[in-house]
Amino acid sequence: MTDAALRSSFHRKLDEVRAEVVRMCAIVTEMIPRATDAFLNNDLDAAQQLIDDDDLLDAVSVNLDTMCTQLLALQQPMATDENEIVPIEAHGIKAISMGFLIAEDSAVIVRGPLATRYTQQFLRQCLWGELDYLILDLPPGTGDIQLTIVQTVSVDAAVLVTTPQEVALIDARKAASMFKKVNVPIAGVVENMAWFECNHGEKYFIFGEGGGETEAARLGVPLLARIPLDPETRKRADSGDPIANLDPGESSVSKAFAELAGKLAS
C-alpha cells in the first residue's frame, strides 16, 4: 500500500471515530435530562446510618455497571429548565447513578472519555443542595473515573471495601497505591462478606479469614468493619428496604453498619 493510500485510510478511520464520538455525545445529551446511577448494598446501608444523626447526605454512584436501583426505589431523576439534574431521593438520601438511565437488563458500554463526562456531570450538574457528606461509589481499579474524581473535587478520604480473599485484595492494594500517589488519605478498610453464620451460630469463612484485617494492618489504617454474608441483607436490598433501617439492637449487620458510619463520622 502506498503512502498516499495509507494516509487516506488513516484519515477515513479518524473520521469514523469522530463521527462515533459525536453520536455518543448526542446520546449522552439526550439522556441527561432524565439522568442517574445507583449503588451497592454497603454504600447505601452505611449512608443510611450516617443520616440517622440528622446529617445531610448525598450519594453518587460512578460505578457505571451498578444496577441496584431497587435499593433507592424505581424512580427516574428529573431536570430543571437550566438542565441541572435533580437527584432521586429515598430513605432520606439523594442519589444519582447511571442505573436509572437504562433498562435493568442493558449493559453500559462507554469508553474512557464518556465515563469521565458522566462523572463530571454527576458532580457538577446535580442539585445536591446543602450536605454534610457526599459518598462516591467507585468501580474497582485505578482508571479514568478515579482520576477524574480526584481532579474534579477535593476528596477527604477513601474507604477500601474488599472481600477477604487474595484475588480481591490485589485490587484493593492497587487502589490504595493510586490514592496515595494523588494524596488522598485512606480512612480504613471494610471487609465485606467476611463470613456466613448459620442458624446454629457457627461461622463459615467462605472467602477466607482475616484478609481485610491483614491488609488494614499492612497499610497502617483501621479496619472499619467486617460485614457478614447475610441472607436477610440480600432480601431487604431486593425489596428496597436496607438492612440499616433495622434497629442495631435487633440486627448484628445493622449494628456493624452503624459502627462503620460512626467511625467515619468521628
Cβ pair 108, 134 in contact under 8 A: no
Q: How far is residue 32's CA from residue 100's CA, in Å, rounded to a whole number? A: 11
Asked if pLDDT for residue 20 goes beyond 50, the answer is: no
- Read off the pLDDT of each residue in 62-73 and give the average, rounded to a whole number: 54
* Residue 172 is assigned to a structural domain of this protein: no
- Read off the pLDDT of each residue in 166-188 and give the average, rounded to a whole number: 93
* Residue 92 is assigned to a structural domain of this protein: yes
Pairing outcome for strands 186-192 and 85-86: unpaired
* Residue 233 is assigned to a structural domain of this protein: no
Residue carrying the nine cell digits 447513578:
97
CATH of residue 119's domain is 3.40.50.300
State which of 43-52, 77-86, 169-178 shows the largest mean pLDDT: 169-178
Convert the pLDDT of each residue in 204-236 to its tens digit.
Answer: 999 999 999 999 999 999 999 999 999 999 999
Residue carrying the nine cell digits 485510510:
9
pLDDT of residue 152: 84
Convert the pLDDT of each residue in 81-125 to its tens digit.
Answer: 888 888 888 888 888 887 776 666 766 666 777 778 888 888 888
Q: Which amino acid is at 192?
A: N
Higher pLDDT, 45 or 212: 212
Query: Cell digits for 209?
Result: 479469614
3-state secondary structure at position 93: strand
Cβ pair 121, 58 in contact under 8 A: no
3-state secondary structure at position 96: strand
* Residue 143 is assigned to a structural domain of this protein: yes
* Residue 171 is assigned to a structural domain of this protein: no
Q: How far is residue 177's CA from residue 118's CA, in Å, rounded to a whole number? A: 25
* Residue 207 is assigned to a structural domain of this protein: no
pTM above 0.85, yes or no: no
Number of structural domains found in the chain: 1
Tell me how far CA of residue 229 lies from CA of 78, 122, 162, 226, 261, in angstroms: 35, 31, 13, 10, 19
* Torsion 124-62-134-185 (CA) sign: negative
As a whole number, the mean pLDDT across the chain is 77
* Residue 117 is assigned to a structural domain of this protein: yes
Query: Cell digits for 5?
Result: 493510500
* Residue 142 is assigned to a structural domain of this protein: yes
Domain enclosing residue 114, as ranges? 20-153
